[in-house]
């Protein structure tokens, strides 16, 4: 996208330079290739990094790309929309599995983004006023975000073990909860486990963005409203939220996309074999592609996921922009 | 002008970088056009990746001294191996020679990315007849030139703790019923009769297969189509799950054991009386400080009246990538690795059974254990289905078993109709990919 708009800009300026007089035209003839040469790297990078893999992925979704063909996948037979039909046939195991995974992912995304935003907002407001040790808290809060993903999630994996994990040790041995220690990483609790770890990873980002946003709101607005008798909650609703609107728009969208596509958290937390309750969609598609060597079907599922995310993001942006216009 | 030239040069340089960025690394495996360097992916066999390197490096040095061919070694952990092979097949950026799990041979053969061992190739590595038949049967799809040859032989055995058995007045079991009765006696307090890698889908798929085979049931019909839901398979899986569900001789915490080592550690530390494992458990048990004479091994028993299948034919095979530029060197290397001298060293270090005819097992000094495993391997084994969809069977059925164990462990019950439903789902996934 950026490459396209840049090239039109250069074309315009090139045409403008070439318009008056023969001398300029001559100069243009001599160095006509330069703008293109300068743009070429950007265009090529854009092609290599985004366009070609995307087009390849979409093309793959129309192929019968099983193990019989992956060694030379140019020869894989074209089967049209069959991969999509299988993925969307909710009477079959494959379609049903995808649908279930989709439902789990929607619930996961709503909870994780909602709570991460809430925690981030609460922490950002709590650390807004200067106090002794504020820098320490800010640093502590950002640790999950700064840690390498793998190290952080592996630590959770150890903590969530049934018999040797720190969580069950705390709950049952120290706090004396009655009953048997539960499993966290297999069975139905797996959903709670992956939600907690994902929030742990995500909320510092919300905190960081909202903290920066809060600092950009002039303090005299609050002072004026205080004079008018506004309580903190009212101030938050009437001043903070509207002023943070541009940041929140981007923040929520980005967190939504990241969380919906989260692959690393379940992959590291559950290893190669995910429990059904923690079967998030990126991981599900990975398994569908790699475990059954059916890359065409995996590609079709990825395209469906992409379409869904595009539609949701589009509606979100439209809705948010309209509200902004009305305001 | 100078600035323009500079800018153009920069643009061209950037272009060049992108171009090399795409092509860089292609065929890194066979970069030496002289045919003097091979890339070899070894699967992790020893106690760690480093341990594998230590064992293999002197052998590779010896090979280089003999032939002048240098071997670049990379040891790959078991959990990564299959994905790495898939990526190599897809991208063509592959090693010259590699290890595969022998159960994947037929699946990998169907990709067409591996060199078939025709009669000339077999001549070059010392003939087909040098291999034990049981091992050679796993080389690929029956009736076609195999695309892999045996390297290490492995078999499951039932390890039992001698002291715990004699304390409880028990003798090693010869039938399934005896085994369960023994295990129940051994299950007291925080000790259990058994430990199982109940969260490992590969181990689970192996035992789904073995238990079904004891009932005479097959996972694939003669036409190569999956038949996962037959009564013999459902019964076999039910019997295995019942060790945790009904007999309660397995700690439910085992449902989180996603690799065999954790179950073996429980055995070596005296937490359980028995463990089902392949013979390469010996090195892990020793590394935990349990002496070889403290345990015995018998064949994994079948239920009374069942077929005497105690293991699938486990092990590691060697394959050559079809697009290698060093075919002759690769064949020389396979010949070297499957020679008696090299096998003698590697079998001992990796606790593997010999895949060569007429060679005595060297993986243990315990003659009785060696004899037991050699007998299981030669007489009580059955290869996993030699069909293209074998790896799909392993992942779908194995994962279904993981989930069933998880359900049992967290207090639920798994009925035979639940098992059938899970197997129906697994079968549909395999059919959809076919």
* Whether B15 and A66 lie within 8 Å, measured CB to CB: no
Last residue of a domain, one of B339, B355, B382: B382
* Whether A185 and B256 lie within 8 Å, measured CB to CB: yes
What is the percentage of chain B residues whose pLDDT exceeds 70?
Answer: 92
- Considering the domain architecture, whether residues B318 and B307 belong to the same structural domain is answered as no
- For tokens 């709670």, name the residue: A192
- Considering the domain architecture, whether residues B334 and B212 belong to the same structural domain is answered as no
Tell me which residue range forms the domain holding B117.
5-154+313-382
Quote the minimal CA–CA distance from B392 to chain A in Å: 5
Q: What are the CA-CA distances from residue B69 to residues B38, B64, B327, B331 (Å)?
A: 7, 5, 12, 12
Tokens representing B401 are 């078993």
Q: What is the pLDDT of residue B289?
A: 92
- Considering the domain architecture, whether residues B305 and B317 belong to the same structural domain is answered as no
CA distance B147 to B142: 11
- Considering the domain architecture, whether residues B335 and B283 belong to the same structural domain is answered as no
Cβ–Cβ < 8 Å for B33, B325: yes
Q: What is the CB neighbour count within 10 angstroms for residue A60?
A: 21
Report, in angstroms and rounded to the nearest whole number, the Rg of chain B calculated over CA atoms.
24
Half-sphere exposure of A146 (CA within 13 A, CB side): 7
Using CB atoms and an 8 Å cut-off, which of residues 246-265 of chain B contact chain A?
253, 255-256, 258
Quote the minimal CA–CA distance from A258 to chain B in Å: 24
- Considering the domain architecture, whether residues B182 and B305 belong to the same structural domain is answered as yes
Tokens representing A71 are 């060694």
Q: Is pLDDT at B421 greater than 50 in this prediction?
A: yes
Last residue of a domain, one of B382, B400, B415: B382
Q: Which residues of A touch B409 (CB under 8 A)?
A: 183, 186-187
- Give the model confidence (pLDDT) of B135-184 as tens digits: 999 999 999 999 999 999 999 999 999 999 999 999 999 999 999 999 99
- Considering the domain architecture, whether residues B113 and B84 belong to the same structural domain is answered as yes
How many domains does chain B divide into?
2
Average pLDDT per block of 10 residues along chain A, 327 residues long:
42 45 58 88 89 90 87 85 92 92 97 97 90 87 89 94 90 89 91 96 95 91 90 91 92 96 93 87 89 87 94 91 67
- Considering the domain architecture, whether residues B262 and B184 belong to the same structural domain is answered as yes
Contact with chain B for residue A9, Cβ under 8 A: no
Contact with chain A for residue B283, Cβ under 8 A: no
| pLDDT level of residue B333 (50, 70, 90 thresholds) | very high
Quote the minimal CA–CA distance from B191 to chain A in Å: 14
- Considering the domain architecture, whether residues B244 and B327 belong to the same structural domain is answered as no
Residue in A41, A273, A293 nearest the CB of B14: A41
- Considering the domain architecture, whether residues B327 and B399 belong to the same structural domain is answered as no
- Read off the pLDDT of each residue in B19-23 and give the average, rounded to a whole number: 35
Contacts of A177 (CB under 8 A, 6+ apart): A171
Using CB atoms and an 8 Å cut-off, which of residues 121-150 of chain B contact chain A?
none
Last residue of a domain, one of B364, B382, B400: B382
B61-93 residues labelled b (16+ CB within 10 A) or e (exposed): eebeeeeebebbbebbeeeebbebbbebbbeee
Q: What is the pLDDT of residue A274?
A: 84
CA distance A66 to A72: 11
Q: What are the CA-CA distances from residue A275 to residues A109, A183, B66, B361 (Å)?
A: 18, 11, 51, 40
Size of the A and B interface in Cβ pairs below 8 Å = 125
* Whether B395 and A40 lie within 8 Å, measured CB to CB: no
Contact with chain B for residue A95, Cβ under 8 A: no
- Considering the domain architecture, whether residues B62 and B117 belong to the same structural domain is answered as yes
What's the maximum distance between 2 C-alpha atoms anywhere in chain A?
Answer: 92
Tokens representing B224 are 């190569």
Contact with chain A for residue B214, Cβ under 8 A: no
- Considering the domain architecture, whether residues B207 and B71 belong to the same structural domain is answered as no
Burial of A254 (0-12, 13-18, 19+ CB in 10 A): middle
Residue in A45, A71, A94 nearest the CB of B111: A71
Q: What is the pLDDT of residue B224?
A: 87
CATH of the domain at B63: 3.40.190.10
- Considering the domain architecture, whether residues B34 and B147 belong to the same structural domain is answered as yes
């Amino acid at each position: 996208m950026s490459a396209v708009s840049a090239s039109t800009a250069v074309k315009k300026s090139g045409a403008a330079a070439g318009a008056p007089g023969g001398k300029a035209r001559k100069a243009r003839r001599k160095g006509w290739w330069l703008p293109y040469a300068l743009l070429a790297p950007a265009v090529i990078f854009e092609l290599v990094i985004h366009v070609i893999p995307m087009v390849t992925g979409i093309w793959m979704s129309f192929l019968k790309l099983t193990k019989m063909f992956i060694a030379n996948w140019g020869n894989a037979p074209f089967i049209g929309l069959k991969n999509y039909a299988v993925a969307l046939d909710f009477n079959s195991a494959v379609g049903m599995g995808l649908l279930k995974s989709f439902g789990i992912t929607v619930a996961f995304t709503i909870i994780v983004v909602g709570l991460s935003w809430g925690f981030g907002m609460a922490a950002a407001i709590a650390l807004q006023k200067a106090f002794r040790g504020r820098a320490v808290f800010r640093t502590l809060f950002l640790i999950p975000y700064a840690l390498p993903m793998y190290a952080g999630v592996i630590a959770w994996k150890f903590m969530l073990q049934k018999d040797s994990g720190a969580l069950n040790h705390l709950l049952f041995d120290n706090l004396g909860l009655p009953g048997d220690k539960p499993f966290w990483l297999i069975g139905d609790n797996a959903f709670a486990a992956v939600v907690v770890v994902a929030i742990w990873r995500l909320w510092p980002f919300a905190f960081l963005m909202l903290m920066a946003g809060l600092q950009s709101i002039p303090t005299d607005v609050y002072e004026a409203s205080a004079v008018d008798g506004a309580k903190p909650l009212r101030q938050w609703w009437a001043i903070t939220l509207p002023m943070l609107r541009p940041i929140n728009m981007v923040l929520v969208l980005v967190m939504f996309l990241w969380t919906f596509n989260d692959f690393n958290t379940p992959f590291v937390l559950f290893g190669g074999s995910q429990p059904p309750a923690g079967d998030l969609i990126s991981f599900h598609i990975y398994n569908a592609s790699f475990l059954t060597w059916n890359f065409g079907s995996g590609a079709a599922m990825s395209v469906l996921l992409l379409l869904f995310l595009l539609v949701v993001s589009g509606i979100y942006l439209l809705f948010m922009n309209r509200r902004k216009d009305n305001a | 002008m100078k600035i323009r030239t500079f800018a153009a040069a920069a643009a061209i340089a950037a272009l060049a970088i992108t171009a090399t960025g795409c092509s860089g690394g292609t065929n890194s495996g066979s970069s030496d056009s002289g045919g003097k360097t091979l890339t070899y992916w070894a699967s992790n066999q020893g106690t760690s990746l480093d341990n594998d390197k230590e064992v293999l490096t002197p052998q590779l040095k010896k090979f280089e001294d003999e032939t002048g061919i240098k071997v670049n070694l990379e040891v790959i952990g078991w959990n990564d191996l299959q994905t790495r092979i898939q990526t190599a097949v897809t991208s063509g950026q592959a090693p010259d020679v590699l290890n595969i799990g022998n159960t994947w041979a037929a699946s990998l053969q169907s990709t067409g990315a591996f060199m078939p061992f025709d009669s000339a190739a077999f001549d070059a590595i010392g003939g087909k007849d040098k291999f034990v038949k049981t091992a050679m049967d796993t080389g690929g799809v029956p009736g076609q030139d195999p695309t892999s040859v045996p390297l290490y032989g492995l078999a499951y055995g039932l390890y039992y703790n001698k002291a715990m058995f004699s304390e409880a007045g028990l003798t090693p079991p010869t039938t399934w019923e005896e085994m369960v009765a023994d295990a129940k006696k051994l299950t007291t307090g925080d000790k259990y009769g058994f430990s199982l890698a109940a969260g490992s889908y590969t181990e689970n798929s192996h035992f789904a297969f073995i238990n079904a085979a004891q009932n005479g049931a097959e996972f694939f019909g003669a036409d190569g189509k999956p038949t996962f839901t037959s009564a013999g398979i459902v019964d076999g899986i039910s019997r295995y799950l019942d060790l945790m569900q009904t007999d309660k001789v397995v700690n439910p915490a085992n449902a989180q054991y996603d690799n065999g080592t954790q179950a073996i550690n429980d055995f070596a530390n005296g937490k359980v009386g028995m463990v089902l494992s392949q013979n390469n458990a010996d090195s892990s048990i020793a590394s935990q400080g349990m002496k070889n004479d403290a345990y015995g091994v018998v064949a994994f028993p079948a239920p009374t009246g069942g077929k005497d299948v105690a293991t699938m034919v486990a092990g590691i095979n060697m394959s050559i990538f079809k697009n290698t530029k060093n075919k002759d060197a690769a064949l020389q290397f396979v010949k070297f690795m499957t020679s008696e001298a090299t096998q003698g060293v590697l079998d001992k270090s990796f606790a593997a059974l010999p895949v060569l005819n007429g060679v005595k097992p060297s993986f243990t000094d315990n003659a009785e254990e060696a004899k037991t495993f050699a007998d299981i391997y030669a007489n009580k084994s059955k290869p996993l289905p030699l069909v293209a969809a074998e790896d799909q069977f392993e992942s779908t059925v194995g994962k279904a078993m993981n989930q069933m164990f998880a359900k049992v462990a967290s207090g639920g019950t798994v009925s035979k109709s639940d098992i059938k439903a899970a197997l129906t789902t697994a079968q549909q996934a395999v059919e959809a990919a076919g």
